[in-house]
């Protein structure tokens, strides 16, 4: 699946806002299509490779687009705050709820869309939105006014965050047990650690994306997950979204020797760093120093990995690729 001429022309000639809109639209078109039973592994890998061509183009010919990412992309946190304000919880059946699945990427969208229909939900909207930069958990939490993810646990978030009036919780327990935690309050924000909590459990070389996909299918096609979604949607409009996506970095090409030494010294086995040094001097750049509303940080640019102590993770996040920053934003009701 090669880049279309129209998309290349857009990237070269249009405004950053139009370019990013086209990039996210393309990623959604590739990732959100239904997947036949028994074909998940190969199809997810194929879609990942297709977006690899887009990542390569951005990292080489369009790397300066990342300077305009934040001002051009509808950020998930901003969209949530706007949506929350527009769905007030006054009156019968006008509740609102948000289910944040930590580390969910666009790859998982087909099973969310199919599962919603199968379990009797109405889908009011489905689209991609953008993670914070860095594409990590705490920056997203702070963008919503929470000190950190754990602050949501057991309704401990207080009243100073941006999703006003919400009952909150945060956990990694089984879906059925999560459903039991959801009371009748009209406004809920539930942050579950899955699938992010499982990324490192799929670190076998060459099998990270494959084995995680098997787990995703098991969870999102089972009744237990949708029991939680149904409980959150009782009398409430529900948004299912994520704080960031992830990279199937085990499939990335290895950097050459000089680049490896540099990347290993700055990023260790990660994808971003808060250090004060300047980015490397390669052209096209292998990393970028960006100032966003989360501060000034260094980011690995594009799909690349390197040999590091203990082995580079097969699944990770925080760098500059489409599937690390684009996440589903799906609005449903029962």
Mind listing the pLDDT tens digit for each residue in 282-327?
999 999 999 999 999 999 999 999 998 878 999 999 999 999 999 9
What count of residues does the chain have? 334
28-47: average pLDDT: 96
pLDDT 10s digits, 63-107: 999 999 999 999 999 999 999 999 875 444 579 999 999 999 999
What is the structure's pLDDT at 9?
85
Answer whether 333's CB lies under 8 Å from 237's CB.
Answer: yes
224-249: average pLDDT: 98
The arrangement of strands across the sheet holding 95-101 comes to: 122-130, 326-333, 236-241, 95-101, 187-192, 167-171
What is the structure's pLDDT at 180?
98
Long-range CB pairs of 253-262 (<8 Å, 24+ gap) are 253/303, 253/304, 253/305, 254/304, 254/305, 254/306, 254/307, 255/286, 255/304, 255/305, 255/306, 259/286, 259/304, 259/306, 260/306, 260/307, 262/286
152-179: average pLDDT: 96
209-214: average pLDDT: 95
What is the structure's pLDDT at 93?
53
What is the structure's pLDDT at 91?
43
pLDDT 10s digits, 118-165: 999 999 999 999 999 999 999 999 999 999 999 999 999 999 999 999
225-230: average pLDDT: 98
What is the structure's pLDDT at 6?
82
26-41: average pLDDT: 96
Q: What is the mean pLDDT of the chain?
A: 94
Q: Is pTM beyond 0.75 here?
A: yes
What is the structure's pLDDT at 203?
76
228-238: average pLDDT: 97
pLDDT 10s digits, 262-278: 999 999 999 999 989 99
């Amino acid at each position: 699946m090669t880049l279309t001429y129209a998309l290349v022309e857009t990237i070269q000639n249009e405004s950053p806002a139009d370019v990013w809109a086209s990039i996210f639209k393309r990623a959604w078109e590739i990732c959100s299509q239904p997947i036949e039973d028994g074909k998940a592994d190969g199809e997810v890998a194929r879609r990942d490779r297709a977006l690899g061509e887009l990542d390569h183009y951005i990292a080489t010919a369009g790397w300066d687009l990342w300077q305009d990412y934040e001002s051009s992309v509808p950020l998930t946190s901003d969209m949530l705050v706007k949506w929350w304000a527009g769905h007030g919880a006054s009156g019968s059946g006008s509740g609102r709820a948000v289910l944040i699945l930590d580390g969910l990427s666009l790859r998982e969208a087909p099973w969310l869309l199919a599962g919603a229909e199968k379990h009797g939900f109405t889908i009011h909207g489905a689209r991609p939105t953008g993670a914070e930069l860095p594409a990590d958990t705490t920056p997203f939490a702070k963008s919503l006014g929470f000190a950190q993810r754990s602050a949501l646990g057991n309704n401990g978030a207080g009243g100073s965050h941006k999703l006003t009036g919400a009952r909150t919780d945060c956990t990694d327990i089984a879906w059925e047990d999560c459903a039991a935690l959801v009371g009748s309050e009209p406004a809920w924000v539930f942050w579950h650690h899955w699938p992010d909590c499982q990324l490192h459990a799929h670190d076998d070389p060459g099998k990270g994306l494959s084995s995680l996909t098997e787990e995703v299918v098991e969870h999102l096609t089972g009744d237990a997950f949708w029991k939680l979604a149904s409980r959150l949607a009782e009398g409430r409009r529900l948004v299912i979204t994520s704080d960031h996506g992830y990279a199937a970095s085990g499939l990335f090409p290895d950097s050459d020797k000089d680049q490896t030494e540099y990347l290993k010294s700055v990023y260790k086995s990660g994808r971003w760093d808060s250090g004060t040094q300047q980015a490397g001097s390669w052209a096209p750049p292998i990393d970028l120093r960006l100032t966003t509303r989360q501060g000034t940080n260094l980011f690995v640019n594009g799909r690349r990995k390197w040999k590091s102590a203990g082995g580079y993770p097969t699944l990770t996040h925080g760098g500059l690729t489409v599937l690390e920053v684009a996440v589903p934003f799906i609005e449903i009701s029962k």
